[in-house]
Structure 1
Amino acid sequence: MDSSDDKKRMNVEDDDRLSSLQDELIHKILSFIGIKHAIQTSVLSSRWRFIWTSMPYLNFSWDDFYELPKFSEFVTRVLSGRNSQTEVSSVKLSNFRGTDSDVIAEQIMKYAFSHNIQQLDVACLPKNHVEFPPFLFSSRSLKHLSLTKENFSAFQRRHSSSYVFKATSTWELPVLTTLYLDGVTLCCDDNTDKCIGFFSKCANLKNLTLKSCYTKGFKGLSICLPLLSNLTVEDVYGSSS
């Protein structure tokens, strides 16, 4: 047998080893790529055909598409094609941009929260003005939350308040342990005590990072959490009106 035959045999064996892994391990491997590419593995063999439908990790990026309608259609097909009995462990949304893309982001998040999501990472480009749906701030399953702006300097955030994330009520996230906010506006609405701690109902929060954030409507940002062990505050500013 020549060297080329040896290489072919080794490739087949390697493929078999990968296919013989448990679904959970394959899911973990596929979690490092976008859901679009994960779905493309379904053509490899019958073993891989439906692997993606039970993935608990969903990684969506606008960069994988050129047109919003195609992106929207893809998201709908993915969510409707998943095994509805499989919970969503984590969701990553990156490079979402434009007003219409907010509708798609909300569609994904609504689905994820109905499937007991534990981790949400959202990173958008600075051209967005994003207002998150209320259900995001009252989850009973969310443990890790990261909201950031991509490619946006602290100076730009400070002088372009319309291009930041906005949340308009006290967050009630009882199992949240890690919160990372970068370039986020925290707004006090008419129904919120202007002196209340914004994170006072996140009793299990252990790690909190606030970077380039803006507070509006609060008399002061109070942080008093019994389990907090790591706190980072950088360039946080605001107004009381």
Structure 2
Amino acid sequence: MGHSMELETRGKRARTSSSSSLTSDQLSSLSDGLIHRIMSFLKARQVVQTCVLSSRWRYLWRSVPCLDIDQEEFETAGPNRDKEKEWHNFEYFTDHLLINNIPIALLDTFRLRVTGKCYFDNIQSRQAARWIRHGIKYSTQEPGIQRQGLSSSSWRVKRLHLSNISLDDSFMKHVNSGCQCLEDLELKSCWCTFHKITSDTLNNLILKDCYCSGLSVIASPMLKSLVIDGCRNRDDCLLVITTPAVAYLHLSVEVWLFRGGVLLNRMPSLAKALIHLQDNIQRPKKLSGDRFNLLDSVSNRFNLLDSMSNVRSLYLSDFKAMAISEEFPEFLNLRTLLLEKCDLSDNFQMLGHFLQHSRNLENLTLRHCKFSKNPKKRGRLNKGCLIQLNVRCKNLKLTEVIYRDDDVQMLVDLLSNISGDLPKNNIKLTMVDQDHH
């Protein structure tokens, strides 16, 4: 395969300018390590094509520590595209690259991207999964594996990034048994039929736009960063997350597509959390209620805030108005709170509880929040809870309100009534156009 790639690109070499030759000579004077570092920014096909630069480069690509295989490199432009031929070329290239040319066991980073969505579990995405299994299973046949101090079944890869690939339980079993150094796992637009993600080594986990079927457990004692963004989880399956070392959490899901809910076990190291609950679809009545009552501490499905009581920076988006229990958690370390598109027509209970239970809060932002449009309810608010809040965040320095209409007057009344309890607080009001995003 390497020789065929040389023939494919040799003609291009003859047409390069003298300045290009000078550049390649300058690069050739660098150490192997620096050249490999430069190669790590190239796609796999480009990396192989460097073999024509000079005799020094002929085999240098074969020991690259970072491999980024992307089907997009084999796509052609124009109305007469032959997608079947493009896939055949991509498949042939990848087969020969992984089986015959690259010492898989010595890779630090492996990226594999198949173009197009794989939500229908197509043949191409399953074929791509076979390459992953091959990488794990046969890496121990490469020379030098024992010199790396790994077990006889280890792949030393630290970063594994996959896109548009069908991944089943056998994938996670191979990862758990064969990737004993894995620190960074990123899955984008993948069809995931495995039920658990467990690892003793992961530091970073990203699930982006994945179609999960019965994902019930994420457990990793070393995990520092967790992102679940735009995913769906079928079969009404409750996802239990046990990641005690997490410092950064990003959870953004469509409620309707995550029916089983999420249960976070305690996260004592959490410093920053972004929680976005998209709920743009009208749900049947039987699905409303406790499954999505994230702020109610008696909820067993979405009891999120109790798990994040040590957080320093918290961003909540699209939270609905709801009754809140008296057991609202104390946020002793919270310094920055942002509520975006949250429903504050609940007698300001959610906002009030944060003001009462976040004694070290310094910065508060309310962006495009929703208020009651009922005149009678507004009257009750002004006479009731607005004056009776027991505000404890004496160090609040800035409250910024970003709004689109005059409903903000209720909030201004609230802030005015409690201004005596917030001697350091400055209030900033910003009105934006209705069409502003």
Q: Calculate the TM-score normalised by the size of structure 2.
A: 0.43
C-alpha deviation, 1:209, in angstroms: 0.5
SS in 1 for 2:41: coil
What are the superposed Cα offsets for residues 220-240 of structure 1, whole Å, 9 maximum, x if unpaired?
333232211000111254234
Amino acid at match of 1:52: W
Distance (Å, rounded) in 2 between the aligned partners of 1:137 and 1:52: 26
Work out whether 1:61 is the aligned partner of 2:85. no
Structure 1: where are the runs of 5+ without partners? Answer: 1-6, 150-163
Distance (Å, rounded) in 2 between the aligned partners of 1:85 and 1:137: 14
Work out whether 1:120 is the aligned partner of 2:160. yes
1:161 aligned residue? none
C-alpha deviation, 1:20, in angstroms: 1.8
C-alpha deviation, 1:137, in angstroms: 4.6
Amino acid at match of 1:107: R
Distance (Å, rounded) in 2 between the aligned partners of 1:120 and 1:104: 17
Distance (Å, rounded) in 2 between the aligned partners of 1:68 and 1:92: 17
Summarize the Cα distance change of 1:15–1:67 in structure 2 as closer, same or farther, 3 Å threshold.
closer
Structure 1 or 2, whichever has the larger Rg, is 2
C-alpha deviation, 1:83, in angstroms: 4.8
- Please say if residues 51 and 57 of structure 2, whose CA atoms lie closer than 8 Å, have aligned partners that are also in contact: yes
Of 50-59 and 97-106, deviating more is 97-106
- Please say if residues 137 and 172 of structure 1, whose CA atoms lie closer than 8 Å, have aligned partners that are also in contact: no
- Please say if residues 94 and 122 of structure 1, whose CA atoms lie closer than 8 Å, have aligned partners that are also in contact: yes
What is the alpha-carbon root mean square deviation over aligned residues? Answer: 2.8
Work out whether 1:31 is the aligned partner of 2:67. no
Work out whether 1:178 is the aligned partner of 2:204. yes
SS in 2 for 1:108: helix
Distance (Å, rounded) in 2 between the aligned partners of 1:42 and 1:203: 43
Amino acid at match of 1:56: P
Distance (Å, rounded) in 2 between the aligned partners of 1:70 and 1:168: 30
SS in 2 for 1:75: helix
Distance (Å, rounded) in 1 between the aligned partners of 2:114 and 2:186: 14
SS in 1 for 2:45: helix
1:239 aligned residue? 259
Question: Which of 223, 245, 251 does residue 227 from structure 1 map onto?
Answer: 245
Amino acid at match of 2:60: I
Distance (Å, rounded) in 2 between the aligned partners of 1:235 and 1:188: 15
C-alpha deviation, 1:84, in angstroms: 3.1
C-alpha deviation, 1:206, in angstroms: 0.5
Distance (Å, rounded) in 2 between the aligned partners of 1:111 and 1:14: 37
Greater relative contact order structure (CA < 8 Å, 6+ sep) = 1
- Please say if residues 59 and 91 of structure 1, whose CA atoms lie closer than 8 Å, have aligned partners that are also in contact: yes
Q: Calculate the TM-score normalised by the size of structure 1.
A: 0.74
Where do residues 159-238 of structure 1 align in structure 2 (5 Å cutoff)? 165-188=191-214, 198-200=217-219, 202-217=220-235, 220-237=238-255, 238=258
- Please say if residues 56 and 86 of structure 1, whose CA atoms lie closer than 8 Å, have aligned partners that are also in contact: no
1:81 aligned residue? 100
- Please say if residues 158 and 183 of structure 2, whose CA atoms lie closer than 8 Å, have aligned partners that are also in contact: yes
SS in 2 for 1:96: coil
Distance (Å, rounded) in 2 between the aligned partners of 1:71 and 1:11: 28
Summarize the Cα distance change of 1:39–1:181 in structure 2 as closer, same or farther, 3 Å threshold.
same
Number of paired residues?
208
Structure 2: where are the runs of 5+ without partners? Answer: 1-16, 75-84, 140-154, 262-437
Distance (Å, rounded) in 2 between the aligned partners of 1:219 and 1:108: 29
Distance (Å, rounded) in 1 between the aligned partners of 2:100 and 2:175: 27
Distance (Å, rounded) in 2 between the aligned partners of 1:67 and 1:185: 26
Amino acid at match of 1:182: K
2:90 aligned residue? 71
Summarize the Cα distance change of 1:205–1:167 in structure 2 as closer, same or farther, 3 Å threshold.
farther
C-alpha deviation, 1:21, in angstroms: 1.4
C-alpha deviation, 1:45, in angstroms: 1.0
Of 173-182 and 136-145, deviating more is 136-145
Distance (Å, rounded) in 2 between the aligned partners of 1:23 and 1:108: 27
